[in-house]
Amino acid sequence: MKIILIGYRAAGKTTLGKLLSQRLGWPYLDVDRGIEKRSGKTITELFQEKGDTHYRDVESQIVQEMCNEDECVIAFGAGSLMREENQTTAWTDSLIVYLRAPVEELWRRIEADPGSSDTRPNLSQGGIEEVIEMLGKREPVYKACADLILDATLPPEQLADEASAAYTSKLKRDSNP
């Protein structure tokens, strides 16, 4: 089994993913970094040069490859679950953890990240309005796919404790049907 982290950009998937990876002694995989490695371009460059459909096709390939791994922590891109095929792939032998944060906190974190605009494309008009719009579309999918929803404003160590406990619990349930 693996742990998959989902949520909007700046929710803390990378921070929690690396912490869980260290604690569990598992590899940490990041769908966005996999896309960049495969394409040789930043997410923004790939999006601008090839368009949404090509980007999402590459993303689905990376999701499939990473989800074929066992005992790893995978950070999905914010939009990775918007394709049903990626939802189906994610549900196979995994614990899906949704890192949920209020719009204002997400926007604060995005603004505080100097590299955000270079690595993450605008998907609509930009700004906090984009966060509101995109989260409105994505959150129902995040909630429907999640085994566990965590408050992303809590300290990463506490989130790692809760995710680890949920993983152990699910592993016990799945091995004792």
CB proximity list for 158: less than 8 A, separation 6 or greater: none
**Mean of pLDDT over the chain:** 92
Bridge partners of 73?
3, 28
CB proximity list for 141: less than 8 A, separation 6 or greater: 81, 82, 87
Give residue 176's pLDDT.
Answer: 78
Bridge partners of 98?
6, 149
Read off the pLDDT of residues 146-171 as tens digits, 9 standing for 90 and up: 999 999 999 999 999 999 999 999 99
Give residue 24's pLDDT.
Answer: 96
Structure-token match 């998937």, residue found: 13
Q: How confident is the model at residue 75 (pLDDT cuts 50, 70, 90)?
A: very high
Give residue 18's pLDDT.
Answer: 98
Helices (H), 13-126: 13-24, 31-39, 43-67, 84-91, 103-112, 116-119
Percent share of the chain, pLDDT over 90:
79
Element holding 141 (H helix, E strand): helix 127-145
Give residue 174's pLDDT.
Answer: 84
Query: Is the predicted pLDDT of residue 58 greater than 80, yes or no?
Result: yes
Question: Would you say 66 and 74 are in contact if contact means Cβ atoms under 8 Å apart?
Answer: yes
Read off the pLDDT of residues 4-47 as tens digits, 9 standing for 90 and up: 999 999 999 999 999 999 999 999 999 999 999 999 998 888 98
Question: Would you say 67 and 89 are in contact if contact means Cβ atoms under 8 Å apart?
Answer: yes
CB proximity list for 99: less than 8 A, separation 6 or greater: 5, 6, 7, 11, 12, 13, 16, 150, 152, 159
Q: How confident is the model at residue 119 (pLDDT cuts 50, 70, 90)?
A: low
Distance CA 132, CA 146 (A): 20
Distance CA 173, CA 1 (A): 12
Give residue 120's pLDDT.
Answer: 58
Full-model pTM: 0.93
Q: Which two tokens stand for residue 144?
A: 């429907």
